[in-house]
């Protein structure tokens, strides 16, 4: 049974977005609290939400592409859907960030010292510091989409060999010494994060195969529990997330792949029902990801201006709860009034241009 809409993965996408928010919320607290720290150090694991995004992306690309291989029209349809999913909503937050940059340059991605290339940032091109801090990951996503669009041009029987070849090329490029001055495009092409996308794609290939039927509900549940109970502590203990190399992509990508395989298999067998709130978080996850740094930074600066509240850590509790709530509420509004209308228009144009006659 092929499924185009996995509610379990939508929930994981929402949780991944909140994990990234928690990671940045920890940084905001350190920067603006002026004293006591409430949030625990292990929230550094929240940055693995980006890795989970990449693996989910690979899974979804394969899941929605069944029966679409070997047709040039489908390749263009795929690219249209992906590009209109990424760019229009991103441009909204690019322009918002640009407006802040004009008024208060020091408030925008201060770690980049104002070196962002605006045109490259607008187009999500590799090679220069981004204006929108989180947009670096979107550049990787675009690369994944371009490669996968190329794979769609071939018959589906070539998908698995192509994915394995792609993984071998990326792994080799990260094992064999490479020149330090590689062009920016090759840096993205050979980046280990491609391994995470490939892992997700391979999981999707497997979940739609007959072999997946042999995985019991008990095994799926145990696998998901093992990732959470053992995998996350290992990530924290060995500081795996501090680097962006092959070890991180392989280890974290595998953990995410096992988790996705487990929950997807449980959903496919009808063993889990995803709460509506988690599906909602998945729906707004892209807006959460794009907007949360702006929201957190704005409230963080207000927090610093008001000063500490009476009582040890009281202001931390109130500020962190306020920031988390503000991120979700703003993301809902952004999704409802910006992202959703954009997606609706994109879908209508896709039906007119690509789905009219096949």
- pLDDT, tens digit, 9 for 90 and up, residues 61-95: 999 998 899 988 889 999 999 999 999 999 999 99
In this prediction, residue 159 carries a pLDDT of 97
The number of C-alpha atoms within 13 Å of 301 and in the hemisphere containing its C-beta is 9
Alpha-carbon distances of 126 from 21, 119, 123, 135, 180, rounded to whole Å: 24, 11, 9, 10, 16
d(CA 9, CA 260): 7
In this prediction, residue 108 carries a pLDDT of 79
In this prediction, residue 36 carries a pLDDT of 77
All structural domains of the chain with their residue ranges: 7-353
The alpha carbon of 137 is separated from its chain's Cα centroid by a whole number of angstroms, namely 7
In this prediction, residue 26 carries a pLDDT of 95
Q: Which residues are within 8 A (CB) of 272 and not within 5 positions of it... i.e. 6 or more apart?
A: 8, 263, 266
Tokens at 334, concatenated: 């952004």
| Residue 312 pLDDT greater than 80, yes or no | no
Decide if 296 contacts 21 (C-beta within 8 A).
Answer: yes
Q: Which residues are within 8 A (CB) of 168 and not within 5 positions of it... i.e. 6 or more apart?
A: none
pTM for this model (two decimals): 0.94
Tokens at 90, concatenated: 């991103």
d(CA 109, CA 107): 7
In this prediction, residue 113 carries a pLDDT of 55
Q: Which residues are within 8 A (CB) of 323 and not within 5 positions of it... i.e. 6 or more apart?
A: 25, 28, 295, 296, 299, 300
3-class DSSP state of 329: helix
| Residue 51 pLDDT greater than 60, yes or no | yes
Place of tokens 């491609």: 194
The total of other beta-carbon atoms located within 10 Å of residue 254's CB is: 16
The total of other beta-carbon atoms located within 10 Å of residue 180's CB is: 5
Higher pLDDT, 264 or 34: 264
């Amino acid at each position: 049974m092929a499924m185009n809409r996995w509610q379990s993965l939508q929930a994981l996408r929402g949780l991944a977005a909140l994990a990234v928010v928690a990671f940045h919320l920890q940084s905001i607290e350190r920067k603006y609290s002026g004293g006591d720290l409430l949030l625990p150090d292990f929230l550094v694991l929240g940055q693995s939400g980006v890795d989970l995004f990449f693996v989910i992306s690979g899974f979804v690309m394969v899941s929605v592409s069944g029966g679409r291989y070997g047709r040039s029209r489908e390749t263009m349809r795929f690219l249209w859907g992906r590009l209109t999913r990424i760019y229009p909503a991103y441009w909204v937050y690019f322009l918002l960030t640009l407006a802040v940059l004009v008024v208060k340059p020091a408030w925008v991605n201060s770690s980049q010292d104002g070196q962002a290339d605006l045109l490259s940032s607008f187009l999500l091109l590799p090679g220069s510091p981004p204006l929108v801090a989180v947009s670096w990951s979107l550049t990787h996503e675009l690369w994944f989409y371009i490669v996968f669009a190329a794979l769609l041009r071939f018959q589906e029987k070539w998908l698995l060999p192509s994915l394995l070849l792609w993984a071998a090329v990326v792994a080799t490029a990260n094992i064999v010494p490479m020149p330090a001055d590689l062009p920016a495009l090759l840096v993205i092409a050979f980046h280990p994060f491609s391994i995470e996308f490939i892992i997700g794609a391979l999981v999707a290939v497997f979940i739609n195969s007959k072999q997946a039927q042999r995985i019991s509900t008990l095994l799926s549940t145990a696998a998901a529990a093992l990732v959470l109970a053992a995998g996350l502590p290992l990530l924290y203990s060995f500081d795996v997330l501090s680097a962006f190399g092959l070890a991180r992509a392989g280890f974290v990508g595998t953990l995410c792949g096992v988790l996705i395989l487990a929950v997807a298999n449980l959903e496919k067998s009808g063993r889990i029902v995803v709460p509506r709130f988690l599906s909602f978080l998945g729906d707004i996850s892209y807006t959460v990801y794009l907007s949360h740094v702006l929201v957190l930074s704005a409230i963080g600066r207000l927090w610093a201006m008001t000063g500490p509240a009476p009582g040890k850590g009281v202001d931390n509790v109130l500020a962190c709860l306020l920031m988390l709530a503000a991120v979700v509420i703003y993301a809902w509004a952004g999704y409802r009034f910006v992202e959703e209308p954009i997606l609706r228009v994109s879908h209508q144009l896709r039906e007119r241009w690509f789905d009219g006659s096949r």
